[in-house]
């Protein structure tokens, strides 16, 4: 369609202007999107190169000799690297060619619009001016016509009255003649002006405006041609199906096609072929029974009053386990029989589903074989026990088998009173020897290995000096003949909070004793696992004795031992039975074993001290929790210990133990010599070079990679919460806000959240993942390279949060390596999924450390 014919009206003119505005906006949008695409492609190309670099760090050992899968993987990674390089080159071409052309086209379009507006206004103004001139001339014509009529009338009147002479008549005649001449002149001007206006209007319609519109159309179409070329260039340079990409893809597909499962391990098997596994013989060491004090026979079970009940119970447990195993094995065999896998081939068309089903079948077959092995082992043990019991000929215990035991009887200090039915039953059914045997079984405890960095724990546990004279001195048993106080008992856990206690109670019958404070009054509590968790407050009688529902005893120890051996529930309503006492964990230290030295500082929950442990010269750091704090604060205080006790890494502060036997609760940790990383950076930053700072970032990345593998979210990673030790090693500390979850949603508000270190999704939605720690790691690296600077200096928390949401990111500190700042920016990507994980971060920082090292 022709502009010059179809777009001459005013509405068309306005539409042309709107179209030009829209085209300018579209060009601007294309320019901004192209810039964003260039940024994304550059980052994607860099990410592909990083992934390829990481992927090419394959195991070079001989164990992968001849692997087609490894060879294919290498080709895939090289293809990924080539793809990254190709994409990077495409981004350079787009930026240097297309983006510049797009900017030029945008500027040209603005000039075209301006030219059209000016020219259209110019000729429109000419038409308006001549129209207005015609109207003015018409009005002037009318005015002079009226004047002419008036002067003529007066002249005629005077001429009639005065005849042919007189001065007055001459004046009237002059005015009449002037008006006549003026009218004639105006008449001619009006005629000429109409002629001019007619011609201009004709030219306006047939020449000026059509020519302008045709010129505009030609220019518009020329820009469309340029526009099309730009789009084609963008498409060509962004085409992932081009021959270059196809070549990379074909190479990878050829390598994948070469993988054959029956050939993958051929070369490997030939290279590392060995003889079959030699048989191992497990033989009873006969020297163990050579001592004349014992009557044991090699490879034979001993049946006497100490073992017969245990053997019967053991056989019952084994038979029950065998039945469960057989039931589970039958279920798996039935599942395999119903599987769509027939003769090793899937009847399903989808290869992916077929692979999953095939692997699932292999797992089930493997599990069946393991169950069969387990059943064979248990059947052998059952046969051995049955054989030993059958040799008795009856279920009576053979005479002459009693061990020589201390005959001290279990006495109740209140024996002067008439014993109730519970006490009578207790003494009738449980003699001293049997009570000792039962308790030995119940309180037997395996010795836990000590941590190589922690002090020996055993010296804080049992002291043979606490045994009464004549009592049995058995190191790993707790005996009723000792004169221990309640605090010394292994199953007394002090002021450990309820939430920590229930973590230790796993099976029905597990129990322990602890203390709690209610209404400023200390109370002793028995905690039992029995269809859930039950907590019984020990009642005190008016005579100062202790009881639940049964008899009263002079000590809590005697009360607990009675409940263990009587076979009676703690309360009739609960039905809870005491079966297995849960001892203190290996890291639970006695408060009296900690010697506080000098105060190091003050924390959120209490003071921090340098300290020693008795019989240990090493210096530790001890965090204390004020006894006046509410229970929920004590729980938060112990949360750090619960998390730290299971971690062992050189870049995480080491946990030594906790003290909960009495107030104040204490956490014992390694003392890191130089203290806070933030203070160290501010004091000694001028003496640190780029290599030192980069090594600090690597230490933190190493510790966080370890925490990430343990699904631990730190939530408060910052320089203030890291410590620095000898040789400038950095250790992550302060796990008070940490959570052991892949994802943690805050439900109790955002109080005490470090705003400037926290990722946007955590601030906005309360959603924490390990990628939130990645954001904080970027801030921490900024702190390190700024040598203790304050992030978002001069901004309030609210202002910083708003600026971050708007896209602001802190500039690099002076002397920050460009590669390190790029890593910080990747850590500060607004979308969590766009950030690297700590394994990737460690790889990048490790490479940079080697570069700067």
Residue 691 has pLDDT above 80, yes or no: yes
Q: Looking at 263-267, 321-325, 400-404, 727-731, which range is the least confident one?
A: 400-404
- Give the pLDDT mean for 37-48: 89
User: Are 762 and 834 found together in one domain?
Assistant: yes
Where among 331, 361, 390 does a domain terminate? Answer: 390
Q: Give the side-chain half-sphere CA count within 13 A for 105.
A: 27
User: Are 593 and 731 found together in one domain?
Assistant: no
pLDDT of residue 244: 82
Q: At 113, list the tokens.
A: 């619009």
User: Are 837 and 724 found together in one domain?
Assistant: yes
Residue 306 has pLDDT above 80, yes or no: no
pLDDT of residue 304: 62
- Give the pLDDT mean for 557-573: 90
| SS3 call for 546 | strand
User: Are 733 and 812 found together in one domain?
Assistant: yes
Residue 508 has pLDDT above 50, yes or no: yes
pLDDT band at 71 (very low <50, low <70, confident <90, very high): confident
Q: Looking at 475-484, 566-575, 640-649, 806-815, which range is the least confident one?
A: 475-484
Is the model more confident about 207 or about 303? Answer: 207
Question: Mutual orientation of helices 351-390 and 308-337 as an angle, nearest 10°?
Answer: 150
Question: Known binding site for ATP: residues?
Answer: 600-608, 623
User: Are 308 and 367 found together in one domain?
Assistant: yes
Q: What is the largest CA-CA distance in the chain?
A: 185
Question: Percent of the chain scored above 70 by pLDDT?
Answer: 81
**CATH code assigned at 635:** 3.30.200.20
In angstroms, rounded to a whole number, what is the distance separating the alpha carbons of residues 670 and 621?
Answer: 6
Where among 670, 690, 712 does a domain terminate? Answer: 670
Domain count for the chain: 5
Residue 401 has pLDDT above 80, yes or no: no
User: Are 235 and 125 found together in one domain?
Assistant: yes
Is the model more confident about 782 or about 659? Answer: 782
Residue 541 has pLDDT above 50, yes or no: yes
Residue 550 has pLDDT above 70, yes or no: yes
Question: Mutual orientation of helices 100-162 and 167-203 as an angle, nearest 10°?
Answer: 160
Asked whether residue 223 is domain-assigned, the answer is yes
Can you list the alpha helix ranges (DSSP code H) found in 710-789?
Answer: 760-765, 770-785
8 Å CB contact between 508 and 493: no
Asked whether residue 595 is domain-assigned, the answer is yes
pLDDT of residue 214: 85
**Whole-number mean pLDDT of the chain?**
79
**CATH code assigned at 812:** 1.10.510.10
Q: From the CB of residue 621, how many other CB atoms can be counted at a distance below 10 Å?
A: 21
pLDDT band at 573 (very low <50, low <70, confident <90, very high): confident
Annotated catalytic residue within 41, 593, 716, 734 = 716
Q: At 670, list the tokens.
A: 């390694």
pLDDT of residue 616: 81
Cα 606 to Cα 87, 522, 599, 602, 841: the distances in Å are 56, 21, 11, 6, 35
pLDDT of residue 356: 62
pLDDT, tens digit, 9 for 90 and up, residues 602-639: 877 888 898 988 878 888 999 888 877 777 777 777 77
Residue 437 has pLDDT above 70, yes or no: no
Where among 581, 609, 639 does a domain terminate? Answer: 581
Q: Report the DSSP beta bridge partners of residue 768.
A: 744
- Give the pLDDT mean for 518-523: 70
pLDDT of residue 239: 77
Question: Percent of the chain scored above 90 by pLDDT?
Answer: 23
User: Are 566 and 646 found together in one domain?
Assistant: no
pLDDT of residue 482: 44
pLDDT band at 464 (very low <50, low <70, confident <90, very high): very low
3-state secondary structure 629-669: CCHHHHHHHHHHHHHHCCCCCCCECCEEEEECCCCCEEEEE
Is the model more confident about 618 or about 62? Answer: 618
User: Are 731 and 838 found together in one domain?
Assistant: yes
Is 716 assigned a catalytic role? yes
Q: Looking at 101-110, 306-315, 785-794, which range is the least confident one?
A: 306-315
Cβ contacts of 654 within 8 Å, gap of 6 or more: 451, 453, 454, 644, 648, 669, 670
Asked whether residue 221 is domain-assigned, the answer is yes
- Give the pLDDT mean for 481-493: 74
720: nearest Cα among 733, 737, 710, 706: 733
- Give the pLDDT mean for 448-458: 34
pLDDT of residue 175: 87
Is the model more confident about 464 or about 690? Answer: 690
**CATH code assigned at 220:** 1.20.1270.60
**CATH code assigned at 564:** 3.30.505.10
Asked whether residue 433 is domain-assigned, the answer is no
pLDDT band at 392 (very low <50, low <70, confident <90, very high): very low
User: Are 99 and 223 found together in one domain?
Assistant: yes
pLDDT of residue 235: 80
Q: Phi-psi bin for 715: left (phi > 0), alpha (psi -120 to 50), beta? A: left
49-63, 65-79, 804-818 — which one is most confidently predicted on average?
804-818
b (16+ CB within 10 A) / e for 253-276: eebeeeeeeeeeeeeeeeeeeeee
User: Are 512 and 645 found together in one domain?
Assistant: no
pLDDT, tens digit, 9 for 90 and up, residues 83-128: 888 888 888 888 888 888 888 888 988 998 898 889 889 988 998 9
Q: At 645, list the tokens.
A: 């006790």
In angstroms, rounded to a whole number, what is the distance separating the alpha carbons of residues 381 and 321?
Answer: 12
Range of the domain at 713: 677-852
pTM for the complete prediction?
0.42
Asked whether residue 255 is domain-assigned, the answer is no
User: Are 518 and 622 found together in one domain?
Assistant: no
Asked whether residue 353 is domain-assigned, the answer is yes
Asked whether residue 430 is domain-assigned, the answer is no
Asked whether residue 395 is domain-assigned, the answer is no
| SS3 call for 216 | helix
Cβ contacts of 399 within 8 Å, gap of 6 or more: none
Q: Phi-psi bin for 743: left (phi > 0), alpha (psi -120 to 50), beta? A: beta
pLDDT of residue 351: 57
User: Are 620 and 681 found together in one domain?
Assistant: no
């Amino acid at each position: 369609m022709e502009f010059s014919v179809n777009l001459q009206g005013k509405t068309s003119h306005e539409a042309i202007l709107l179209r030009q505005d829209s085209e300018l906006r579209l060009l601007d949008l294309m320019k901004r999107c192209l810039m964003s695409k260039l940024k994304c492609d550059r980052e994607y190309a860099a990410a592909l190169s990083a992934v390829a670099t990481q992927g090419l760090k394959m195991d070079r050992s001989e164990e992968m000799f001849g692997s087609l899968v490894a060879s294919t993987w290498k080709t895939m990674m090289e293809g990924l690297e080539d793809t990254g390089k190709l994409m990077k080159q495409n981004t350079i071409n787009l930026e240097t060619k297309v983006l510049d052309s797009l900017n030029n086209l945008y500027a040209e379009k603005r000039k075209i619009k301006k030219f059209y507006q000016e020219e259209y206004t110019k000729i429109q103004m000419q038409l308006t001016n001549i129209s207005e001139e015609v109207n003015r001339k018409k009005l002037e014509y009318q005015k002079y016509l009226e004047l002419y009529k008036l002067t003529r009338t007066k002249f005629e009147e005077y001429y009639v009255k005065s005849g042919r002479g007189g001065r007055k008549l001459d004046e009237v005649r002059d005015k009449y003649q002037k008006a006549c001449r003026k009218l004639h002149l105006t008449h001619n001007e009006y005629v000429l002006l109409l002629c001019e206006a007619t011609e201009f209007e004709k030219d306006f319609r047939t020449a000026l405006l059509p020519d302008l519109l045709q010129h505009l159309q030609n220019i518009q179409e020329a820009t469309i041609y340029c526009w099309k070329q730009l789009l084609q260039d963008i498409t060509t340079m962004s085409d992932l199906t081009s021959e270059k990409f196809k070549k990379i893809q074909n190479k990878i597909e050829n390598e994948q096609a070469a993988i054959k499962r029956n050939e993958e391990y051929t070369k490997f098997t030939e290279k590392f072929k060995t003889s079959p596994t030699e048989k191992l013989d497990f033989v009873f060491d006969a020297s163990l029974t050579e001592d004349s004090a014992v009557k044991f026979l090699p490879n034979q079970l001993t049946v006497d009053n100490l073992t017969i009940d245990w053997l019967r119970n053991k056989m019952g447990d084994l038979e029950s386990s065998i039945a469960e195993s057989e039931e589970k094995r039958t279920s798996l065999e039935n599942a395999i029989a119903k599987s769509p896998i027939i003769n090793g081939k899937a009847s399903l068309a989808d290869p992916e589903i077929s692979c999953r089903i095939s692997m699932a079948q292999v797992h089930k077959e493997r599990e069946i074989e393991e169950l069969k092995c387990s059943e064979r082992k248990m059947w052998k043990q059952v046969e051995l026990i049955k054989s030993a019991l059958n040799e008795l000929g009856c279920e009576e215990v053979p005479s002459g088998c009693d061990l020589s035991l201390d005959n001290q009887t279990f006495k109740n200090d209140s024996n002067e009173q008439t014993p109730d039915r519970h006490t009578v039953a207790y003494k009738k059914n449980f003699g001293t020897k049997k009570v000792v045997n039962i308790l030995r079984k119940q309180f037997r405890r395996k010795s836990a290995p000590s941590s190589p960095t922690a002090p020996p724990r055993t010296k804080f546990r049992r002291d043979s000096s606490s045994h009464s004279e004549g009592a049995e001195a058995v190191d790993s048993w707790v005996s009723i003949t000792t004169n221990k106080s309640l605090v010394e008992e292994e199953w007394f856990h002090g002021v450990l909070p309820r939430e920590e206690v229930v973590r230790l109670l796993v099976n029905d019958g597990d129990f322990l004793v602890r203390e709690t404070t209610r209404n400023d009054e200390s109370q002793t509590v028995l905690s039992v696992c029995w269809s859930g968790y039950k907590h019984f407050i020990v009642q005190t009688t008016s005579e100062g004795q202790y009881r639940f529902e049964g008899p009263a005893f002079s000590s809590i120890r005697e009360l607990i031992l009675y409940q263990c051996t009587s076979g009676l529930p703690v309360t009739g309503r609960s039905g809870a039975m005491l079966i297995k006492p849960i001892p203190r964990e290996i890291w639970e230290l006695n408060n009296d074993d900690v010697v506080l030295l000098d105060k190091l500082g003050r924390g959120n929950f209490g003071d921090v001290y340098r300290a020693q442990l008795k019989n240990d010269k090493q210096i530790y750091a001890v965090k204390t929790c004020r006894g006046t704090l509410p229970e929920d604060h004590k729980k938060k205080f112990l949360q750090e210990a619960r998390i730290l006790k299971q971690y062992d890494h050189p870049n995480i502060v080491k946990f030594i133990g906790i003290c909960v036997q009495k107030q104040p609760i204490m956490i014992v940790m390694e003392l890191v010599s130089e203290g806070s990383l933030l203070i160290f950076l501010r004091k000694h930053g001028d003496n640190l070079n780029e290599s030192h700072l980069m090594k600090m970032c690597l230490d933190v990345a190493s510790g966080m990679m370890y925490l990430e593998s343990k699904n631990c979210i730190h939530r408060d990673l910052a320089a203030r919460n890291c410590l620095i030790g000898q040789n400038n090693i950095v250790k992550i500390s302060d796990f008070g806000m940490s959570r052991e979850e892949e994802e943690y949603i805050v439900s109790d508000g955002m109080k005490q959240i470090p705003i400037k270190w926290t990722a946007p999704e955590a601030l906005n939605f309360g959603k924490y993942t390990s990628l939130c720690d990645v954001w904080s790691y970027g801030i921490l690296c900024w702190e390190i390279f700024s040598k203790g600077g304050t992030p978002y200096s001069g901004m309030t928390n609210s202002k910083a949060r708003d600026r971050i949401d708007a896209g602001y990111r802190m500039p690099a500190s002076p002397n920050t390596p460009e590669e390190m700042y790029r890593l910080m920016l990747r850590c500060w990507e607004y979308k969590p999924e766009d950030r690297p994980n700590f394994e990737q971060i460690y790889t990048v920082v490790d490479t940079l450390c080697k570069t700067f090292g």
